Amino acid sequence: MYAPKDKKELITPVRLGLQSRFTFTCDKDMACFTKCCRDIYIILTPCDIIRIKNKLEMDSAEFLAGFTRPGKIDNTELPVPVLKTLEDEDKTCPFLTKEEGCSIYDARPATCRYYPIGAGIFHNKDEAADERFFALIKEGHCLGHDLGEERTVAEWRTNQGLDDYDDVNAGWIELILKRKSLGPFVTIPDKTLQMFFMACYNLDAFRRFVFESRFLDVFDVPEDQLNKMKEDDIALLDFATKWLKKTLFGEGDIAIKEKVVEGDSIET
Alpha carbon dihedral 98, 101, 103, 106, in 10-degree steps, equals -170
What confidence score (pLDDT) does residue 264 get? 54
- Are 63 and 130 in a shared domain? yes
Residue 179 lies in a domain: no
What confidence score (pLDDT) does residue 259 get? 65
- Are 160 and 210 in a shared domain? no
Residue 58 lies in a domain: yes
CA distance 52 to 117: 21
Q: Which positions of the chain have pLDDT values less than 70?
A: 1-13, 122-130, 259-268
Q: How many other β-carbons are positioned within 10 Å of the β-carbon of residue 193?
A: 16
**Domain limit, last residue, from 168, 201, 225:** 168
- Are 202 and 137 in a shared domain? no
- Are 22 and 116 in a shared domain? yes
Count how many domains the chain has.
2
What confidence score (pLDDT) does residue 262 get? 53
- Are 160 and 206 in a shared domain? no
Residue 264 lies in a domain: no
User: For residue 131, what are the β-bridge partners?
Assistant: 122
CB of 165 within 8 A of CB of 171? Answer: no
CA distance 251 to 242: 8
Residue 2 lies in a domain: no
- Are 23 and 53 in a shared domain? yes
- Are 194 and 140 in a shared domain? no
Residue 1 lies in a domain: no
Residue 69 belongs to domain spanning = 11-168
CA distance 180 to 182: 5
- Are 70 and 196 in a shared domain? no
What confidence score (pLDDT) does residue 3 get? 35
What confidence score (pLDDT) does residue 14 get? 75
- Are 220 and 135 in a shared domain? no
Residue 267 lies in a domain: no
Helix, strand and coil content of the chain, in percent to the nearest 5, comes to: 40, 20, 40
Residue 70 lies in a domain: yes
Residue 144 lies in a domain: yes
What confidence score (pLDDT) does residue 132 get? 80
